[in-house]
Amino acid sequence: MYKYILRRVVMLIPIVLGVSFIVYIMMDSAQGNALDVIGIDYSAEKLAELYHQYGYDRSVFYRYFIYMKNLFHGSLGSSMIYKKDVWDLYLQRLPATLKLASASVLLSILFSIPLGIVSAKNHGAPWWTTPLW
């Protein structure tokens, strides 16, 4: 049993890396980037400096490697818009995210369990032809 779990965890590593790379490539291939949005008022020299600072003048593979290296070291970088650490922004918004997630799970349970009972009780019959309870 332990060998099976270990094998599945080891197989999960390339899958997670592959999915993260595909998502990174897709986000990179989208039109524009954060510098295009915040750099509207900047001069061409300042934009070139920022492109170099954030690595947009490098290949996408290099930027992905740096992203993963920083991610494994626990650094999510700093926000260009808020000028704060992304991890701090994430923790700041975590309570609201947990409230929304909890509410959605609660609502899904409140609706899915009764509907599952009704569908099991009326197996094979259309729901509008049989009484619900």
**Residue 125 clears pLDDT 90, i.e. is over it:** no
Spatial contact of 40 and 83, defined as CB atoms under 8 Å apart: no
64-123 pLDDT per residue, tens: 999 899 988 988 888 877 889 999 999 999 999 999 999 999 999 999 998 888 888 878
Over residues 49-76, the mean pLDDT reads 88
Tally of CB atoms within 10 A around 85:
14
**Residue 130 clears pLDDT 70, i.e. is over it:** no
Over residues 51-64, the mean pLDDT reads 87
Q: How far apart are the first and last CA of the chain?
A: 44
Listing DSSP states for 6-20 in one string gives HHHHHHHHHHHHHHH
Question: pTM to 2 decimals?
Answer: 0.64
Which of 34, 43, 28 minimizes the C-alpha distance to 83?
Answer: 34
Average pLDDT, the chain: 87
Q: What are the structural domain ranges in the chain? A: 1-75, 78-133
